[in-house]
Each structure stands twice: as C-alpha cells, then as structure tokens.
Amino acid sequence: MIKWSMLAVSLISLAGCDVTKTDFPVRNAAVQTEVEELSTNVAIVRLTADNVDAFSKPRNFEGGRSTMPSGGSWDYRVGVGDVMDIVVWEHPDLTLPAGMNRTPAEGGLRVQADGTFFYPYVGQIQAKGRTPDQIRTDLMKRLGEYIPDPQVEVRVAAYRSQAVSVTGEVDSPNRQHLTDMPLTLLDAIDAAGGLKETADPRGVTVRRGSAVYTVDLDAFLKRGMGGNNPLLRPGDVVSVPKLEKQEAFLLGQLVKPATVDLTEENVTLTQAVTRVGGLKEDSADARGIFVFRETRMGMTVYQLDASNPVAYVLGARFVLHPQDVVYVTSSPMHRWNRLISSLLPTFTTARVADEIGTR
C-alpha cells in the first residue's frame, strides 16, 4: 500500500504537467530507451479484442475448499495434567479417594508426567493417549481381581492437557482447552468472542505443527462449504487476519478521480471509469486510458484506446486488480514516454520502502 500511495501522489502531481500528455502510438522500444537506466522494466500492452481476455483474470469470490485435513471423528485422549474422576459403584471407599468434601476436579486423580495416575489396590494406571473408555476397561479388569464384577465409571473431571489458541481479529483472543466435545474452527472463534468488524474470514490461518493452512471461513458461513469449518486438533493456532481494503486508483483526466473498492467484487475498467463519472470531455485524450500494474518483472502498462466508443466493450472485459492505477492522459498530445520516466523512480523507491516495511 505504501508504494502505490506514493505512486498515486506522483500521478496526481503530474496531472498539471506537460509530461501527462501522450504521443501515440506508444511503443515498447521507445519507452525502454527512455528508462533504460532505471532498474524497473516496463512492458506496454495495447488491449485489443484478440488479447483482452488473456489479460483479464477475474478473482474468485465464491471461495475455495480448504486443503486442511478435516480430521475425521473426534475421540478425546487423556493427557498429562488432566484430572480423572473415578466412580466404583457400591464401593464408596474407592470413589474420590481424596475426600468426599471436594469436587471431582479438586479431589480427582491427576495424570502425572509419566502419563499415569495411581489408584488403590491396582497401582499405576496408564492414562496418556487413551480414551476414558479404554481406561475404564483396564481398570475394571484389574479391580476384578479384588472386587467381583466391578461397575466402574471413568470420566475427565478437568481438561488441562490439550488446547488451541485463537489470535488476531477476534474480540477476546484466548487459549481454549479441548474436551470430549469436538471443537470446530467456527466454535473456537465464537468462544473467542467472535469476529471483529475488521476481520477477514476469507483468510483465516491454522498452524498445525510445521504446516500452515489457509481456510476460507467465509465460504462456510455464506455458502455452507463444510470442509471450510474443520475440526481443530491439540496445539493448533488459529489466526484471523485484518481485512485489508482492496482498491484501484483512478487518476488523471476523469470527471471525479477517486478510488474504486474491489474488496467484495470484480470491477472492470469500463465500470470503474463509469463510476467516477467518465472522461473529461474538454481535456481527456480518449486514446490514452492506461492501467499501471506491478508484476514480478517490473511494471506492465495496459493501454485502452477509447477514441472509438466500441473500445469500452473491451474495457468491460478487462478486470482490474487491487493496487492497479488507472490513468487518463490529457490532450493535446505530447511525449507519454516522459510520464513513464518520471514515474518509475518514485515507483522503485516506493517498492523498496514497502518491502522494508513488511519485513
């Protein structure tokens, strides 16, 4: 955002100068001659009926299915720190051996660092990694040596061993202990106070071990994509990003230069120009509607020659991308190449500043 704000300022400052005027046709060779000493490469693409579709790539607002493993069913497995509550029916002396005046969480049996807890008569019981039912089966078998047909109930009185963390744009970032009830991504976010108005549910990330998954929760909320509300696992870290407004900048000889919001929809070049009132009839050169777009190789500048109204049909097929700068030149004609020469130093400096700011 830093670099494009600087570029936009440069374009605005150039609006009243001769360098904003255009010499047609614009040629790559001529442009490169004028900017050959600069580090940024420039490619000029004249939009035609034959190529416009190749350069128009609408963004997907329907949402994609998450690549995060769904996790299948959920069976809670006891871990170190959990507190177990054991009830042996008709044998009150074996129930809550720590005392009857305390709650199960207070008087229960804590799973020790070695993954076991001690129980009268039978000694150490392995708990870590087992479900309560598995512990119950083991305990019944071992108590059977002392008590005929023991009736045993085993449950977790306090869940303390496993948790997930929820951070980012939620009302109450927190750490949540997992229980015998499965915890979905949406449940965890709700338990953290829900999404803030500034949240972007389309880009929620879940860190699981060394892997990081991006989940479009919005696709689940609005379109019911079940795979986009996965079950969470112990140690997962959920991060809800801040919604960054996606904009394109419209400058130059337009009735009302402004930004166009692309956050929630695809907007074509023709739509964007129309939304700001169109071209200024007395000063705009309709042959010079340019779209500046940064690429990995430098800058690509798309030109739409709208001197023929049919060209706006082409513009209706060209989808703008976030951070595009649409610039309309003025008449009479002049050297458009100087515009590139004037912009690129600012563009290069702004790009470096933006890269430093994001480190």
pLDDT at 227: 85
pLDDT at 85: 92
Give the CA distances from residue 123 to residues 116, 138, 145, 206, 358, in Å, rounded to whole numbers and listed in that order: 10, 12, 13, 40, 57
- Cβ distance 79 to 111 under 8 Å? yes
pLDDT at 199: 95
Q: Which residues pair with residue 41 across a beta bridge?
A: 298
Residues of the chain with pLDDT under 70: 1-40, 62-63, 65, 70-71, 96-102, 331-359
Structure tokens at 230: 């996965």
d(CA 286, CA 306): 5
- Cβ distance 25 to 47 under 8 Å? no
Q: What SS3 string covers the chain? A: CHHHHHHHHHHHHHCCCHHHECCCCCCHHHHHHHHCCCCCEEEEEECCCCCHHHHCCCCCCCCCCCCCCCCCCCCCCCCCCCEEEEEECCCHHHCCCCCCCCCHHHHCEECCCCCEEEECCCEEEECCCCCHHHHHHHHHHHHCCCCCCCCEEEEEEECCCCEEEEEECECCCEEEECCCCCCEHHHHHHHCCCECCCECHHHEEEEECCEEEEECHHHHHHHCCHHHCCECCCCCEEEECECCCCEEEEEECECCCEEEECCCCCCEHHHHHHHCCCECCCCEEEEEEEEEEEECCEEEEEEECCCCCCHHHHHCCCECCCCCEEEEEECCCCCHHHHHHHHHHHHHHHHHHHHHHCC
Q: What are phi and psi of 98, to 5 degrees?
A: -80, -10
d(CA 204, CA 240): 5
Say which residue the tokens 């394109």 belong to: 248
How many other CB atoms are there within 10 angstroms of residue 172's CB atom?
A: 9
List CB contacts of 49: < 8 A, sequence separation 6 or more: 314
Q: Domains (ranges, CATH) in the chain?
A: 2-59+266-357 (3.10.560.10), 83-158 (3.30.1950.10), 163-240 (3.10.560.10)
